[in-house]
Structure 1
Amino acid sequence: MRIAIVSVGDELLVGDTVNTNAAWLGERLDARGATVERVTTVPDRLADIAQVVNESLAAYDAVVVTGGLGPTHDDVTMEGVAAAVGRSLEPHAEASAWLADRGGYSADDGDPRTVELPAGARFLPNDEGVAPGAVVESVYVLPGVPAEMKAMFGRVENEFTGTETYVERVLVDEPESALADRLADLQRRFDVTVGSHPGDGVRVKISAADAGAAKDAAGWLREHANVIDVDAADD
């Protein structure tokens, strides 16, 4: 399953907020065997949201959108998603009832847009907040507040599928450039995908559809490189 993530928020673009949601979603989706192939950050602007969601929906199996839900003037994500799929925004009876049960709120207490979802959308309750999410076609619309996003994603994560991937990590005390030939050799010898990430040593991530292949490849690298820690941290 090929996934695009769309993060909405001016604060992300100017650096006021670090986009931890995209990283967290990428990790969780990867663990389920789904492949994140695009991450895009857009401003709180209706046209930009509609354009990117529409393009992503045409190219990928599913789109996960985070941020821009709620009653304030710049919360235009739901409207942008509706435009992307060619639907109108409509008051959602289930969302309204849920909001009232949640804490005595109603649409009359604030901006009625809070409970407006694209026509025909599936309502997603917000277990950690107020603004509801939605699923329309293959677009999953989640809040931007991390705790709210994580809780809501938990309700739908089993809908994201793919081939389970097994991962081994090896931390190597050599320059990445010096490892290039051995990493290429590693991929020729084993049916694995290899990624390398320099920092405090070079973290080599070995992924495979077969657990044995991943372990064998990691074992080969440990024999042919200057390993710092064969149980490299999973971060």
Structure 2
Amino acid sequence: MNVAVVTVGDELLAGRTVNSNATWLCEQFAERGVSVERVTTLPDRIADIARVVNEYRATYDAVIVTGGLGPTHDDVTMTGVAAALGRDLADHEQARAWLADAGYSREDLTDGTTDLPAGARALHNEVGVAPGAVLESVYVLPGVPAEMKAMFETVADEFTGTPTYREVVVADEPESALLDRIEELRATFDVSVGSYPGESVRVAIESTDETVSQKAAAWLRERVESQE
């Protein structure tokens, strides 16, 4: 299963807010063996949201959109997603009933709070007010991290894949000096390899077979200079 993550918010693009939602979601998907193929950040702009969601839903198994939910002037994500799928926004009875059960009357809520794309499955916001939604392969979650995480947990089982096993070898050598051994590693084992230089070089080895990843890491550790 492959997915795209779309985070929405002018404050993200301005650097005023750290995009922790994208990092957290990528970690969740990696644990489930789901491949994240794209992470995209968009402004609070309906046309951009509609265009990107429409493109990604045709390419990936699922699109997860976070941020821009609610009834204020810059909360336009639901409108953009509805446009991408050719749907109108409509008041969602179940979402309104959830809020009523939580003690919110119709008069307490700003107009548009429970407007979701027609035909969407509502996702209850157990931490906040604005509901999320699922429409076809598009999942729309809040931008507030605590709300997003709680809501994602309610749909997490809908994302499955093949788990990968990761081993890291630390080499106290220049990255360029490791090229021949990395090439031999790839030729010897069915693994993917990434190298990440810093004070030392971290060589990450991944495989869908835990034994293979462990054997490949052991092979490389025997052939590099390391203080491990």
Q: What's the TM-score bracket when you normalise by the shorter of the two chains?
A: over 0.9
Matches within 5 A, 1:93-112: 93-102=93-102, 104-112=103-111
Shift of residue 2, structure 1, vs aligned partner: 1.1
Name the CA distance, whole Å, in 1 between partners of 2:201 and 2:96.
51
Equivalent residue, structure 2, for 1:232: none
For residues 97-131 of structure 1, the C-alpha deviation after alignment (integer angstroms, 9 at most, x for no partner) is 111222x2234323221101111111111122111
Q: Does 1:128 align with 2:127?
A: yes
Equivalent residue, structure 1, for 2:138: 139
Counterpart of 1:217 in 2: which secondary structure?
helix
Amino acid across the alignment from 1:143: P
Name the CA distance, whole Å, in 1 between partners of 2:150 and 2:224.
41
Name the CA distance, whole Å, in 1 between partners of 2:40 and 2:196.
22
Counterpart of 1:12 in 2: which secondary structure?
helix
Q: Does 1:86 align with 2:86?
A: yes
Counterpart of 1:227 in 2: which secondary structure?
coil
CA 1:191/1:107 → structure 2, altered by over 3 Å: closer, same or farther? farther
Equivalent residue, structure 2, for 1:21: 21
Matches within 5 A, 1:44-63: 44-63=44-63
For residues 147-167 of structure 1, the C-alpha deviation after alignment (integer angstroms, 9 at most, x for no partner) is 111111111111111111111
Equivalent residue, structure 1, for 2:67: 67
Name the CA distance, whole Å, in 1 between partners of 2:110 and 2:183.
56
Count of matched residue pairs: 228
Name the CA distance, whole Å, in 2 between partners of 1:226 and 1:106.
67
Name the CA distance, whole Å, in 2 between partners of 1:84 and 1:228.
53
Amino acid across the alignment from 1:78: M
CA 1:228/1:68 → structure 2, altered by over 3 Å: closer, same or farther? farther
Structural RMSD (CA): 1.2
For residues 167-224 of structure 1, the C-alpha deviation after alignment (integer angstroms, 9 at most, x for no partner) is 1122222222222222222111101111122234222221111111000011011111
CA 1:106/1:53 → structure 2, altered by over 3 Å: closer, same or farther? farther
Name the CA distance, whole Å, in 2 between partners of 1:170 and 1:51.
41
Amino acid across the alignment from 1:113: G
Amino acid across the alignment from 1:48: D
CA 1:144/1:54 → structure 2, altered by over 3 Å: closer, same or farther? same
Name the CA distance, whole Å, in 1 between partners of 2:106 and 2:13.
31
Equivalent residue, structure 1, for 2:153: 154
Name the CA distance, whole Å, in 2 between partners of 1:114 and 1:228.
57
Q: Does 1:219 align with 2:202?
A: no
Equivalent residue, structure 1, for 2:187: 188
Q: Contact 1:64–1:139 at 8 Å: present in 2 too? A: yes
Equivalent residue, structure 1, for 2:76: 76
Name the CA distance, whole Å, in 2 between partners of 1:178 and 1:107.
67
Amino acid across the alignment from 1:40: T
Unaligned runs of 5+ residues in structure 1 are 230-235
Unaligned runs of 5+ residues in structure 2 are none
Amino acid across the alignment from 1:131: A
Name the CA distance, whole Å, in 1 between partners of 2:25 and 2:68.
17
Quick one: percent identity of the two aligned structures? 64
